[in-house]
Amino acid sequence: MKALELNNVAIRYPDSGRPEGFLLAASEVSLALNRGDIGCLLGPSGCGKTSLLRAVAGFVPIAEGEIRINGELMAAVHSHVPPEKRKVGVVFQDYALFPHLTVIENIRFGLTKGKRHANAEVLARANDMLHLVGLRQQSDRYPHELSGGQQQRVALARALAPQPDLVLLDEPFSNLDIALRDRLAREIRDILRQTQTTAILVTHDQHEAFAVADQVGVIFDGQLTQWANPYQLYHEPNSAAVARFVGEGAFITGSQVGHQVQTLLGALPLSACCCNDCEPFGDVRVLLRPDDVVHDDASPLKARVVRKAFRGADFLYTLELDNGEQILSLVPSHHDHALDEQIGIRLEADHVVTFSQAEPAQPF
């Protein structure tokens, strides 16, 4: 039994300004999440990911399909279990903490349904949550006295306190600076793991998705394009759109013959073919990530430096090949090459993926 199942879910919002009378926020979305796993809906703004999260929570109805939590039907065309009966905890983007309640009172709120008095069991559970998120010393503080990261952990503790079947996190790190974002993402993953909580988060940031999630769904225009683990999304994207959205890289042209593709950089063995209609012979586009292209002064293959971005430990070089196509390469920062310099390169591409559609051979 899956912890969460979406089967052909569609979400529509009334919109009298459109000829069809509605805005289609999501269409034919199907996914499944195992118990104890963390899932992520990843996509650009306005793609429908938050609408799907709200539908799982019960805040919006669905127009087609069904949603099940631990096998129980929560939503269908003519069936809708209200949010308060779904055993789902939600961490909102703005945390939604009560400003007039202390940290411990905010956490108790979900356990007492807002009542002021709490029994010993509730007090113990709230204190356990405080300890879990490392905020025992801040129990009597008010939200405005906390940092953004601390407020985020209070919101998570409040969501976890009633021991929900599922926790939903809506853009949980968007209000934090980058350094704090990375650290908090790891901390929240550890907390969810420790409590064996099934969770799903929404984000537009692939680094957050990869840092937290076991399974990631890439959504464009209300449709789930790929549902896979982060490793598969990066190395085995099922479309050029996913390849562009997840990670950095470039497409170069090649000619496929069976399970090899011939490129200007040599023959490459294919690990996968991402297009159902891809022929075993013919012109293709080859996806190369920056880590596929290795700096090697001894290599006879040369490329010209056209751009460089210093990243501390390494440079991200944009390199131009003899045919004008461009690729990216991550090079240790002690190799500081000048613009227009020719440098040696070689390929170490273990996951070569091709696409059959026409696509400009430029960096993403």
CB neighbour list of residue 343: distance below 8 Å, 6 or more residues apart? 295, 297, 302, 303, 305, 317, 319, 335, 337
Listed range (171-175, 185-189, 345-349) with the worst mean pLDDT: 171-175
Angle at CA of residue 159, ends 157 and 165, nearest 5°: 125
Listed range (33-47, 86-100, 174-188) with the worst mean pLDDT: 174-188
- Residue pair 268/287 in contact (Cβ under 8 Å)? The answer is no
pLDDT of 281: 65
CA 198, CA 212: separation in Å to the nearest integer? 12
Phi and psi (nearest 5°) for 158?
Answer: -65, -40
CA 316, CA 346: separation in Å to the nearest integer? 16
Pairing relationship of beta strands 260-263 and 266-269 according to DSSP bridges = antiparallel
Number of CB atoms found within 10 A of residue 2's CB: 16
CA 140, CA 101: separation in Å to the nearest integer? 9
Q: So what's the architecture of 4-235 in CATH?
A: 3-Layer(aba) Sandwich (3.40)
Q: Helix (H, G, I), strand (E, B), or coil: what is residue 329?
A: strand
Phi and psi (nearest 5°) for 69?
Answer: -120, 120
pLDDT of 269: 84
pLDDT tens-digit series, residues 244-271: 999 899 999 999 887 889 999 988 887 6
Q: Homologous superfamily of 249-355 in CATH? A: Nucleic acid-binding proteins (2.40.50.140)
In one-letter notation, the amino acid at residue 157 is: A
Share of the chain above pLDDT 70, in %: 93
pLDDT above 60 for 222: yes
- Residue pair 303/296 in contact (Cβ under 8 Å)? The answer is no
Domain ranges of the chain: 4-235, 249-355
pLDDT of 276: 45
CB neighbour list of residue 175: distance below 8 Å, 6 or more residues apart? 93, 94, 148
pLDDT above 80 for 113: no
CA 238, CA 355: separation in Å to the nearest integer? 9
Question: How would you class 221 by CB atoms within 10 Å of its CB: exposed for 0-12, middle for 13-18, buried for 19 or more?
Answer: middle
pLDDT of 357: 58
pLDDT tens-digit series, residues 274-316: 554 555 668 889 999 999 999 999 999 999 999 999 999 999 9
- Residue pair 321/341 in contact (Cβ under 8 Å)? The answer is no
Question: How would you class 315 by CB atoms within 10 Å of its CB: exposed for 0-12, middle for 13-18, buried for 19 or more?
Answer: buried
pLDDT of 93: 85
pLDDT of 51: 96
pLDDT tens-digit series, residues 21-45: 889 999 999 999 999 999 999 999 9
